[in-house]
Structure 1
């Protein structure tokens, strides 16, 4: 065990390995290298190994050096999967979804992009192996790693699993708050903004709410199965914390349903506003056509190239026709206003 505590490595220094932590059982940890993992024994303490799922070095370790059941190893390396929990012997194969954000060193280069990405986990009494794709950055795992480095982290694998579930759900709250604020903003823009822009943003927001719910609903079921599992390394305190996480996740799912319903209502309101604008513009065009009808009729009659058109040789004829057209247009305008057309 002493040999395992002599090396210090930086985060992400080895290919395919984000970090490997040896828990001391008191909230602190020691960082390990890939080479040291080969000499690790359960008697040394629990370990937390975080890998890049799509890196060849990580896949090689999972398939050949982890001593996992082949079915478990293949499931951990699956490219796309929905949240679920499968008990295997004394361990749990867990697939969850976490909030992915831009890595801190990349924030200055591109805007922050938030999404739900898969997190594959194997948990037993002695180790937790977590895998996520390269290019993704799950803030929940970063926070737990930092707390362990400060000596204020989890002490057991069950404690660590419950904390991972808690942090994953916690990071959903700012995402949902941002979506709710966007709904409020679109509500204000419906009557004063660009209709095409509002329609496009509403469509994207509703699609995102549906997509988030598609993953959060099975994630709730997965966490619920963890809570009711009989694994000996899951303490009652871990299950109680998991129950609180499930309750919070259920509230978030209801929150998503409310956001989806609000976007549907706003879409209907937007359609009504657009219809009213079209009707109003149609009324204006019809009124304009009605105002131009008398001058058009008079111009058409007196513009015919046939004999017998009155006033051809009368110097007052043009003035009389202009006065007649003006009076007729004013009378038409008065009638349109009386019938509330304008």
Structure 2
């Protein structure tokens, strides 16, 4: 008979710790505090400790109490990282990236640009230690924790690792769908001549797609290395699930390549629209200058302050000049239309 899981405490009760869970091996867990973490022994069950990477208390635990090799401790606390996997003894040092989500207590806050959160992991047969920056939030970890609370979560460390990979990739799909819809919208805007707003949105979209692909390709390679690792706590079922995650990542990378190509075409179309608009405006200015040329020449000639200007004493001279200018302007207008400038 399955025992009920203990009620979950709120996030971040102790400094530097988001939560610490002791898995019961049947899909459930119970929450423990830092004293419980320090008193934990491998025979007590699989422990999942989630820390804030940039908090001094978390750094203190990793460096002094976690029992990590100095290389592992340094990598877990490193600030700028790319997805990678390093086997160390029977464990794996794993660095992945996940989509930043809005925390439950910050529902009103919206992220204007795509934000990929580094997730640092140490996984072995007895424990999983994960770290992420305090200013970010990853939906994948929240969902796994909620499943454990209901008694339907992972049972082993390999099971938990595979589930983290699945959830991280799952959260990428709506991001890519949103990018694809925005490309369609920008395409319509360019087609209807709305180039002003398109330029800025297209720049942000291209930047987001490049940033996302920059991390997805090494993340695929990292997960592929996990799938081929011979760690004893990774069973065949875990590797099959990771293989599915890798296949999804490969499709997402191809999807991003298609989005990048479409945004490149949109950029070319936008440049063409802008060039045509500039050329059209230049033709109009040139046509206007050509229409004003005859009156300007006549006004310049008859406006000179010199002797001998004809028609000075003739009352019909002004009417004749106006008629000449009108006929000349009409002829110029006809010629401009004839050559397609107007």
Normalised TM-score (structure 2): 0.94
Report the CA distance shift for 1:138/1:6 in structure 2 as closer, same or farther (over 3 A): closer
Equivalent in the alignment of 1:112: 111
Q: After superposition, where does 1:9-24 map in structure 2 within 5 Å?
A: 9-24=9-24
- In 1, Cα distance between the equivalents of 2:163 and 2:296? 80
Mapped pair 1:131 → 2:150: no
Report the CA distance shift for 1:8/1:35 in structure 2 as closer, same or farther (over 3 A): farther
Offset at residue 9 of structure 1 (A): 3.6
SS at match of 1:92: strand
Report the CA distance shift for 1:189/1:59 in structure 2 as closer, same or farther (over 3 A): same
Report the CA distance shift for 1:275/1:201 in structure 2 as closer, same or farther (over 3 A): same
CA contact (8 A) 2:7 2:149 kept: no
Mapped pair 1:79 → 2:102: no
Report the CA distance shift for 1:64/1:264 in structure 2 as closer, same or farther (over 3 A): same
CA contact (8 A) 1:47 1:127 kept: yes
SS at match of 1:190: helix
- In 1, Cα distance between the equivalents of 2:44 and 2:265? 58
Report the CA distance shift for 1:116/1:46 in structure 2 as closer, same or farther (over 3 A): same
Q: Per-residue CA shift, 1:75-107, capped at 9, x if unaligned?
A: 111111111111111111101111112212112
Report the CA distance shift for 1:7/1:287 in structure 2 as closer, same or farther (over 3 A): closer
Q: After superposition, where does 1:254-269 map in structure 2 within 5 Å?
A: 254-269=254-269
Report the CA distance shift for 1:284/1:10 in structure 2 as closer, same or farther (over 3 A): closer
- In 2, Cα distance between the equivalents of 1:336 and 1:56? 76
Equivalent in the alignment of 2:50: 50
Offset at residue 331 of structure 1 (A): 1.4
Offset at residue 287 of structure 1 (A): 1.0
Which structure 1 segments of 5+ residues have no match?
none
Q: Per-residue CA shift, 1:286-306, capped at 9, x if unaligned?
A: 111111111112112222222
| RMSD of aligned residue pairs (Cα, Å) | 1.7
Equivalent in the alignment of 2:320: 320
Offset at residue 6 of structure 1 (A): 8.3
Mapped pair 1:270 → 2:252: no
Which structure 2 segments of 5+ residues have no match?
none
CA contact (8 A) 1:8 1:32 kept: no
Structure 1 stretches of at least 4 aligned residues deviating more than 3 Å after TM superposition: 5-9, 191-197
Q: Per-residue CA shift, 1:303-329, capped at 9, x if unaligned?
A: 222222221111111112111111111
CA contact (8 A) 2:96 2:120 kept: yes
Equivalent in the alignment of 2:95: 95
